[in-house]
């Protein structure tokens, strides 16, 4: 296998080893971690943190034990998977933009600063951008995502929403100018650079060598690609294609990722990590 380019987090290793039933064998978790250069102690620490957060439970001890996802952990995993699925579906043209900008405004007294900060953090994580104090904009309807990440009660009490086809940003001539001003294309493109490097390394791998990889090696490679995509999606606001001057490079990178995942899946079709549509 080629030299590691993307450092995979211990959390990604743990998450990537769960099967469809929400179970992960600790022996596999530790072996994949070692294949990625992550010591067992680091993986154990990640497991303890995830357990303390209520995301999983450990059954048994040592390498003979296993992990089980809790309902909370399964919900978090579904949200991550839905984001990836949305990215691929949007690339395929399944979610054309309706031309409407979604606005979200929020306010909270100083005594409720924690709620205010949580809303701001959530909107930013969802790709919305502040255009005035307490006022955020996105081309996507984020209400369901806000309800899931925060709570229906918090959103109902603190967030005011609206939509418009007539958004005016000083110095911008139209929707594409607005998109470039608020979500610069160069920033999004650069977020995919580590994933591109990993895909280049995979594409240059001798295909005869692939057939000799163990399941642990296949899973390790898959998790490097997953980590690269996850990092990119933390930056990528996933704007509709109508707001980017095409051809849009990140969509092409995701297409390459599907091809790589497909090749890896053929080597170990029972592995649960593959999230390509």
Tell me the per-residue pLDDT of 76-112, one tens digit each, with 9 for 90 and over: 888 888 999 999 999 999 999 999 999 999 988 888 8
pTM of the shown model: 0.87
For residue 98, what are the CA distances in angstroms to 49, 88, 131, 135? 42, 18, 21, 21
pLDDT tens digits, one per residue of 140-197: 999 999 998 898 999 999 999 999 999 999 999 999 999 999 999 999 999 999 999 9
Does residue 247 have a cis bond before it (omega within 30 degrees)? yes
Residue 129 has pLDDT above 70, yes or no: yes
The CA angle 240-242-245, to the nearest 5 degrees, is 110
For residue 61, what are the CA distances in angstroms to 15, 58, 129? 18, 8, 45
Q: What is the pLDDT of residue 1?
A: 44
What is the mean pLDDT of the segment spanning 236-241? 96
Residue 277 has pLDDT above 50, yes or no: no
Domain boundaries, the chain: 101-164
Residue 220 has pLDDT above 60, yes or no: yes
Residue 122 has pLDDT above 70, yes or no: yes
Q: What is the pLDDT of residue 110?
A: 80
Q: What is the pLDDT of residue 270?
A: 67
On whether the CB atoms of residues 131 and 91 are closer than 8 A, the answer is: no
Residue 130 has pLDDT above 60, yes or no: yes
CATH architecture observed for domain 101-164: 2-Layer Sandwich (3.30)
Please give the Cα distance from 122 to 138 (Å, whole number): 13
Mean pLDDT of the chain: 91
């Amino acid at each position: 296998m080629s030299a590691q380019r993307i450092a995979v987090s211990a959390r990604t290793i743990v998450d990537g080893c769960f099967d469809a039933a929400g179970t992960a064998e600790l022996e596999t978790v530790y072996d994949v971690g070692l294949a990625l250069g992550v010591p067992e102690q680091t993986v154990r620490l990640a497991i303890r943190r995830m357990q303390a957060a209520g995301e999983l439970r450990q059954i048994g001890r040592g390498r003979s034990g296993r992990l089980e996802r809790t309902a909370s952990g399964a919900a978090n995993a579904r949200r991550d998977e839905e984001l990836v699925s949305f990215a691929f579906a949007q690339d395929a043209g399944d979610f054309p933009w309706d031309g409407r900008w979604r606005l979200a405004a929020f306010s909270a007294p100083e005594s409720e600063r924690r709620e205010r900060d949580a809303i701001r953090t959530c909107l930013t994580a969802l790709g919305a951008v502040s255009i005035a104090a307490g006022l955020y904009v996105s081309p996507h309807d984020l209400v369901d995502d806000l309800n899931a990440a925060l709570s229906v009660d918090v959103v109902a009490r603190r967030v005011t929403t609206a939509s418009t086809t007539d958004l005016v940003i000083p110095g911008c001539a139209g929707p594409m100018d607005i998109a470039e001003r608020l979500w610069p294309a160069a920033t999004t493109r650069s977020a995919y650079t580590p994933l591109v490097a990993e895909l280049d390394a995979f594409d240059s791998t001798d295909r005869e060598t692939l057939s000799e990889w163990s399941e642990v090696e296949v899973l390790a490679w898959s998790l490097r690609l997953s980590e690269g995509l996850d990092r990119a999606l933390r930056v990528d606001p996933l704007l509709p294609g109508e707001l980017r001057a095409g051809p849009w490079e990140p969509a092409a990178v995701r297409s390459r990722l599907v091809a790589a995942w497909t090749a890896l899946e053929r080597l170990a079709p029972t592995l649960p990590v593959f999230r390509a549509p």
